[in-house]
Structure 1
Amino acid sequence: MIDRRVFSMGLGAAILTACSSSNAPSSATATRMRAVPNAGWDSWVANFKGRAASQGISQTTINRAFQGAGYLPGVVERDRNQVEFKRSLEDYLAIAASDERISTGKQMLQRYNGTLSQIEAQYGVDKDVIVAVWGLESRYGSRRGDVPVVSALSTLAYDGRRGQFFESQLIAAMKILQNGDTTPDNMTGSWAGAMGHTQFIPTSYLAYAVDFTGDGRRDIWSDDPTDSLASTAAYLSRAGWVRGQPWGGEVGSAAANSGTPVAVLQPQNPGPRIAVFRNFQVIKRYNNSDSYAIGVGHLSDRISGGAPFQASFGPDETGLTLEDRKEIQRRLTSAGYDTQGADGVIGKNSEAAISAYQRANGLSVTGKPSVELLRRLGG
């Protein structure tokens, strides 16, 4: 079983960076995702083509794959400047199971209910869990990534920091192209080569992707999410998903009382105590993070009509509750200092808005929320 987290390299909250406006790439970064001439990359590719041929990749496939490909400096920048977001579970869930993500998840569950029911019947994985993975990985397909995968993987393999790993992914991408599942132009994904609605890396795709539509292609790039959703179910099934068993639940809830849990977690104190079952560990095979697995599980519960966690997380180190932080964001935006949303999570946009407000009002510029700031804003 391939652990996708070996590929993702970060804490559980990192998976949400692509889904949060406060972490959206700048226009400068987007520009750096364009291919530029690089003689070293050219030389590396020339040598790689021989290695690819020795592994059964046809010359036709190699030529097609690299036609139009190039060195992407923005990919190297992203790889070297990854930030580990050490968010609290409360903040993580505020993003992972936001009102918007729950609402959209319910819509998607209804829209694709027939297909999801068929997938659930075949693989045994609850359809609301599949939808929740979809929601966290690509915001239900709205952020699948548009970086050319061959260019991204060859850039990272050439760069050398984890060259062997990325070369193995590039070989897998070549095999996908040779199989005819997609074309080089259509093979796009994240800056690190994760693809489709549920962000499969090439080696995971080769091992677990399925053609659920029956059109002869395992098409995770299509606007139709069917093959992606079925492939995620196939992955979780192969990882040991137990049909009919919950992932877990807050201690005292019906889900938590449905059997003997493998563990009881309390990632944040104060905060909910969560009883987890084997399926929690299976979700972690998709992304090896307690926060991620709790996020998927809780989002799946909310999508299917479940209640939020009952235990309070309490105020943070500044004395503010999540609702206090949301109120600060709302009031700043109303005052002309746009925080780009009010989820209660203080990210770059909120810090910039707080700093601008403090500067304009002759206050010490910290960019940090506080009880005093809430009071000044009318809270």
Structure 2
Amino acid sequence: MSISRRKFTIGLAALSLAACERSGNAASFVPRSDGALPDDLMPQANAGYDAWVAGFKLRAAGQGISPATLRSGFSGAGYLPGVVRRDRNQTEFSRSLEDYLAIAVSDERVTKGRAAFARHRNVLQQIEARYGVPAEVVTAVWGLESFYGERRGNVPVVSATSTLAYDGRRGAFFEKQLIAALKILERGDVGARGLTGSWAGAMGHTQFIPTSYQAFAVDFNGDGRRDIWSDDPTDSLASTAAYLAKSGWKSGEKWGAEMGTAAAGSATPVSILQPDAGGPRFAVFRNFRAIKRYNNSDNYAIGVGHLSDRIAGGGPIIASFGPDKYGMTIDDRKALQTRLTARGFDTDGTDGVIGPNSRKAIAAYQQSVGLPATGDPSLDLLNRL
């Protein structure tokens, strides 16, 4: 493919992580407990959008989309202001590998990953046998993309992609996604009501955008549909393996390994990476590049690789990351979050990642004791608490 599956995302190496992290920087929304969408992700009247849709339908018909599919696809669809707001509010920022792994390979994600692997062991082994991609790697992608299916997204894809195509910031890209989504309906892989995903149109257990679905999705269970939306993750997991296999995955080779471990000497590395200055170094092999075809980020690829190793029974990273720019280790930051929360300044999690929620809690505490409300962590603040 000429465009990466997730090249359109900005910010976190994987948007899905944003919905999973607690004290970090959320770039996605967290659904209400009753599963309903926020008000700004419900269709709202917009005359400009309606005119754009009318023109689009003519273009879509010229690309072979039937009148029946256009009717069903746009039935109940509409302009979603919350999609535009989320798209425009994405922020370019870099997260250290230590912070990224604290979220991507948290104890909870490892525990859930091992349980998911055990539940689906038979089908994962069948998928590995067909595509040559290790079962634990496929499971790790599943874990990073949707928390093992728990956070697949329930925004109507036609509404989301048509809103973003109309908005125009990346109009041509999202019009392609909209056409691909309608072709999914035309083929009968899913009904119009079931065609849901993230606010940006990524779908299913492993968050395929529509064009990538068209290129790589497979019907592994043989029921005639490439179903990545149902509670059964079989087709999603197989589609992920097919994607990685077509992206150059070499059967029998690892993704990489931490330098200084036995696994690092299992093959000739294509590169040695040290994402955080003074932190762990990694020997990465050819399969690292295949993971980056799924999401073009070193942090993401290391996250998938390390999570897959943990799911398979491996241990945590051995080398220390050292203190951050505030002179604090991750244990210091976790202690700070714990103590702030105990004092009534809730950081909404104690993962050691100082995101907006933690900064708000720090600023509120600083203000309460007469300190400048900078929101910055520090060892002095930890000692004061």
TM normalised by structure 2 equals 0.95
Report whether the alignment pairs 1:264 with 2:272.
yes
**Aligned counterpart, 2:364:** 356
Report whether the alignment pairs 1:283 with 2:283.
no
**Aligned counterpart, 2:78:** 70
**Aligned counterpart, 2:220:** 212
**Aligned counterpart, 1:57:** 65
Once the two structures are superposed, residues 272-298 of structure 1 have per-residue CA deviations (whole angstroms, 9 ceiling, x without a partner) of 110000000000000000010001001
Distance in 2, Cα, partners of 1:36 & 1:283 = 38
2:14·2:144 contact (CA, 8 Å) conserved in 1?
no
**Aligned counterpart, 1:252:** 260
How many angstroms does 1:44 deviate by?
Answer: 0.8
Distance in 2, Cα, partners of 1:13 & 1:75 = 17
Q: Which sits farther off after the overlay, 4-13 or 228-237?
A: 4-13
Instruction: Map 1:325-340; keep pairs closer than 5 Å.
Output: 325-340=333-348
Q: Identify the match of residue 295 of structure 1 among 300, 303, 322.
A: 303
Report whether the alignment pairs 1:174 with 2:175.
no
TM normalised by structure 1 equals 0.96
What residue identity is the alignment partner of 1:122?
Answer: R
**Aligned counterpart, 2:5:** 4
What residue identity is the alignment partner of 1:283?
Answer: I
Alpha-carbon spacing, 1:13–1:313, altered in 2? closer, same or farther (3 Å): farther
Q: Which sits farther off after the overlay, 113-122 or 328-337?
A: 328-337
**Aligned counterpart, 1:119:** 127
The DSSP-based 3-state class of the residue aligned with 1:264 is strand
The DSSP-based 3-state class of the residue aligned with 1:8 is coil
The DSSP-based 3-state class of the residue aligned with 1:18 is helix
How many angstroms does 1:26 deviate by?
Answer: 7.5
**Aligned counterpart, 1:307:** 315
2:97·2:299 contact (CA, 8 Å) conserved in 1?
yes
**Aligned counterpart, 2:171:** 163
What residue identity is the alignment partner of 1:68?
Answer: G
1:13·1:92 contact (CA, 8 Å) conserved in 2?
no
Report whether the alignment pairs 1:17 with 2:33.
no
2:11·2:94 contact (CA, 8 Å) conserved in 1?
no
What residue identity is the alignment partner of 1:20?
Answer: E
The DSSP-based 3-state class of the residue aligned with 1:359 is helix
Once the two structures are superposed, residues 325-362 of structure 1 have per-residue CA deviations (whole angstroms, 9 ceiling, x without a partner) of 01111111122221111110001111111122222222
What residue identity is the alignment partner of 1:16?
Answer: L
The DSSP-based 3-state class of the residue aligned with 2:373 is coil
Percent of aligned positions that are identical = 66
Alpha-carbon spacing, 1:241–1:319, altered in 2? closer, same or farther (3 Å): same
What residue identity is the alignment partner of 1:192?
Answer: A
Distance in 2, Cα, partners of 1:120 & 1:128 = 9
Alpha-carbon spacing, 1:181–1:348, altered in 2? closer, same or farther (3 Å): same
How many angstroms does 1:139 deviate by?
Answer: 1.0
**Aligned counterpart, 1:88:** 96
Distance in 1, Cα, partners of 2:49 & 2:14 = 32
How many angstroms does 1:13 deviate by?
Answer: 5.7
Report whether the alignment pairs 1:48 with 2:45.
no
Distance in 1, Cα, partners of 2:104 & 2:92 = 17
Q: Which sits farther off after the overlay, 1-10 or 35-44?
A: 1-10
Distance in 2, Cα, partners of 1:141 & 1:63 = 30
The DSSP-based 3-state class of the residue aligned with 2:283 is strand
Runs of 5+ consecutive residues of structure 1 not aligned to the other structure: none
Distance in 1, Cα, partners of 2:303 & 2:163 = 32
